[in-house]
Structure 1
Amino acid sequence: MTAFGRRIYLDYNASAPLLPEVREALVVALDLVGNPSSVHFEGRSARAALSRARGQIAELVGSSPENVVFTSGASEAAATCLTPNWLTAGEDVVLPRLAVLDTDHPCIRDGGRFPAATLIRLPVTADGIVDPQALEDWAHLGPGLLAITLANSETGVIQPLGPIAEICRRFAIRLVIDAVQMAGRLSISHCLEHADAVILSAHKIGGPKGTGAFVLRSDGFRPAPLILGGAQEKRQRAGTEALPLIVGFGMAAELATVRAQRHEELAVLKSYLRARLATFDESLLVNQGELALPQTLSLHHPKLRAETVQIALDLEGIAVSAGSACSSGKIGASHVLTALHRAGVRIDPDAGAIRVSFGLETSERDIETFAAAYERIWRRSVTGGNPKAA
């Protein structure tokens, strides 16, 4: 526990706390006994709840409800969308090549259902955005699919969607966007103006774990299904829908639209934290460039191993991550930091970085408590506890 008797949670990028309104909607949905595919009253009631959630998620991304396909989470959505085989107007379309970014989330970076020989990982610049020349060199070789993580889960860097989409249009490249980290922090209603599919996850926006979705620009161009067996989700994803989780997801999506409008509140806390950290070490922040999430910072020091700092902070009652949640239990350098190191950033990937990510529930006192704790750890490790050595 912290000095004021409670833990401080600064790991929203791993999973955001369940919002009270979401909890209430989820609990109510537990009493819906019908299967959404059944035609009796109970089934129709379940179907109505499912349709409402579909509409709430469509509203979040500026799409139509019929273009929302529910999955078990973002990883399944990525595995579905990252396929060479798509359907348009009843005809098969083969996309022979896939490009991803070297800093992408592993569910994107690993290439989904594309054969390894057809996958390329594009390098990023020192600011963490895709190298535009590398993208253009790949794109001009012919038809293919580009998949990008719009906002990086470790650094908060946001890819410049407009210029990327322009290259895709010029060379007839299809585009899939992982908007998991950006949803609820900034508006994502523009994404389908540029992309063929957008991937979402409920628990990143205050919804329940275990459900996600991909949203298509049009159901006239859709990926070949990953899970077969039934007619659910317009045959895009077989299996009875996880109705209570989806209802919670829908409520979280509705709230995310409103919460994204409060991004300036997050930016103020981020600015405060940046200034506070600069009082003892201006070199801690990992490059973010001009575009970044308003509530994410990555901190690195070659003399501070991220896992050690994470444990020390946990003992002080503060939860942060050492890298992305999908990778933090693995041994080895962060692929994101490694890619930035290759781009010329003065960083030691083996030392790792601490990711601080917060939300609208976070207070300035929470941020100050973290900064003070981090400074104590920094002084012990870097200066030997001697303030004059700082």
Structure 2
Amino acid sequence: MEKIYVDHNASSPCSSKHYKEVFTILEKIDGNPSSTHYYGRQAKSGLEKSRFYLADYLQVDTKQVFFTSGATESNNIVVQSLCSHNQEVQNVLLSKTEHPSISVPLKKLEKQQKLKLLYFPVDSRGLYKKEELLDLVQKYSSCIRAVFLLYVNNETGVVNDVKFLTDCIKRINSSIHVHVDAVQALAKCELSWLRDSLLDSASFSSHKIGGFKGVGALYLKNPDAEKYVFLQGGSQELGHRAGTENLPGIISFGLKLKDLKQEGLWSQKTLEVKQYIVERICGLPPLVIHGDQGLTSCNTISFHIKGRDVQELLLRFELAGVAVSSGSACSSGLVEPSQVLIAMGFNEEEAGSSIRISLSPTNTIEEAEKIVNLIQQLCSV
């Protein structure tokens, strides 16, 4: 049975071509980038070439981007740096739809009375309510430490206008730190605006765009070793993050960014496949698509089928050879309903039974046709 992989928001698999390309490079430069001999210098050169590819893609300076073990670490660096050493309790703004790698450490710090969380709402489409957010910023502007924004929601694909919001927040108070989780935006949304924006930081991940797992990146507009709390004990990553770098992962990430710069956003290929699926399932009576599809990313479809158990649906997809997720892969082991969907107004039963299809340029119309046929069968039972 031919298998179909449509869980690219969880992880987009590497191609055989990419594996070969990475290991061909590593055979020549597999030294420690911190060593001063020939092999170390070659490894360092490969690492810095990947840093160039990242900075070039974002159109920022190479001194503003740092490699990490993944977006979770990147997000935690910002949270811990900004919020764990405050002399007085300050406010931090976020929505109930943020990724757990941001919301969980923030909630822990709130329990330790190091900050106070203020939540701004989303509407029924999953979009931030801009007026309510900016009203909160205006009201508490003198005592807000940071605002955390999610560019593209990992569960629903909803795209927020984070550039506009960043500009508005900074006009109210330029000292407020604005961080954007841009993990799901990479390869799907425009990011060149970072260069001229007032955004303070942003996080990225390699394996969401077909690179190796275990490597991510952090963009900092104004890097400061005294301010940002990275790993300590070495001079790696421009003196900011100690520890021998994950050279295979960084080489992989750099090559994928180089390809992305040349080939363009995924939307050129994935949108056609997504629209094919959406147009054929949106009218099925028991099926509810989450969010306005005109406001979601080019590759993500989130839905539930009324009255159907999500575990049963996942099993049916699995038996048909189709790999999908229930909500976010980071929390798929939990039975709890999606907090993202609850924030959008769905009840707990609906929020606990969502299915997510997430595409990449490797998916085809032929695969989409098989997925549609399966969903139609599931809706008719």
**TM-score normalised by structure 2 residue count:** 0.89
Distance in 2 between the 1:187 and 1:167 partners? 19
When the two structures are aligned, how many residues end up with a matched partner?
Answer: 368
- CA-to-aligned-CA distance 1:24-54 (integer Å, 9 cap, x gap): 2321343333211111111110100000000
Identity %: 28
1:129 aligns with 2:130: no
For residues 30-49 of structure 1, the aligned pairs below 5 Å read 30-31=26-27, 32-49=29-46
Distance in 1 between the 2:279 and 2:338 partners? 26
Amino acid across the alignment from 2:12: A
- CA-to-aligned-CA distance 1:73-124 (integer Å, 9 cap, x gap): 00001000123549xxxxx999933222211111122245972142233221
Name the counterpart of 1:386: none
Deviation at residue 148 of structure 1 after TM alignment = 1.4
For residues 53-202 of structure 1, the aligned pairs below 5 Å read 53-85=50-82, 96-112=90-106, 115-116=109-110, 117-140=115-138, 141=140, 142=142, 143-172=144-173, 173-192=176-195, 193-202=197-206
5+ long unaligned stretches in structure 2: none
1:302 aligns with 2:306: yes
* Cα distance change of structure 1 residues 181 and 239 upon mapping to structure 2, 3 Å threshold: same
Distance in 2 between the 1:256 and 1:94 partners? 44
Amino acid across the alignment from 1:97: N
Instruction: Check conservation: 2:206, 2:216, Cα contact below 8 A.
Output: yes
1:335 aligns with 2:336: no
For residues 208-287 of structure 1, the aligned pairs below 5 Å read 208-219=212-223, 223-281=227-285, 283-287=287-291
* Comparing 117-126 and 197-206, the one that deviates more: 117-126
Distance in 1 between the 2:239 and 2:90 partners? 24
* Cα distance change of structure 1 residues 113 and 278 upon mapping to structure 2, 3 Å threshold: closer
Q: 1:320 is matched with which residue: 320, 324, 341?
A: 324
- CA-to-aligned-CA distance 1:159-179 (integer Å, 9 cap, x gap): 112331132112222211111
Instruction: Check conservation: 1:100, 1:108, Cα contact below 8 A.
Output: no
SS in 2 for 1:326: helix
* Comparing 237-246 and 159-168, the one that deviates more: 159-168
Instruction: Check conservation: 2:123, 2:344, Cα contact below 8 A.
Output: yes
Instruction: Check conservation: 1:225, 1:235, Cα contact below 8 A.
Output: no
Name the counterpart of 1:205: 209
1:28 aligns with 2:24: yes
Name the counterpart of 2:363: 362
SS in 2 for 1:238: coil
Distance in 2 between the 1:104 and 1:308 partners? 27
Distance in 2 between the 1:306 and 1:194 partners? 42
Deviation at residue 346 of structure 1 after TM alignment = 7.2
SS in 1 for 2:123: coil
Deviation at residue 223 of structure 1 after TM alignment = 4.6
- CA-to-aligned-CA distance 1:263-322 (integer Å, 9 cap, x gap): 133222111111111353385211136421011110112312223211110111000000
Distance in 1 between the 2:71 and 2:323 partners? 23
Distance in 1 between the 2:226 and 2:87 partners? 10
Deviation at residue 187 of structure 1 after TM alignment = 2.3
SS in 2 for 1:308: helix
CA-atom RMSD in angstroms: 2.4
More helix by share: 2
Name the counterpart of 2:6: 10
Deviation at residue 239 of structure 1 after TM alignment = 0.3
Q: 1:19 is matched with which residue: 12, 15, 26?
A: 15
Distance in 1 between the 2:279 and 2:216 partners? 36
- CA-to-aligned-CA distance 1:331-369 (integer Å, 9 cap, x gap): 11011111111xxx5784454211011111101010110
Instruction: Check conservation: 2:326, 2:355, Cα contact below 8 A.
Output: yes
* Cα distance change of structure 1 residues 281 and 349 upon mapping to structure 2, 3 Å threshold: closer
* Cα distance change of structure 1 residues 316 and 379 upon mapping to structure 2, 3 Å threshold: same
* Cα distance change of structure 1 residues 209 and 188 upon mapping to structure 2, 3 Å threshold: same
* Cα distance change of structure 1 residues 183 and 95 upon mapping to structure 2, 3 Å threshold: farther
- Structure 1's consecutive aligned runs of 4 or more residues displaced over 6 angstroms after TM superposition are 92-95
Distance in 2 between the 1:84 and 1:210 partners? 22
**TM-score normalised by structure 1 residue count:** 0.87
Amino acid across the alignment from 1:183: L
SS in 1 for 2:157: coil
Distance in 1 between the 2:135 and 2:163 partners? 18
* Cα distance change of structure 1 residues 25 and 98 upon mapping to structure 2, 3 Å threshold: farther
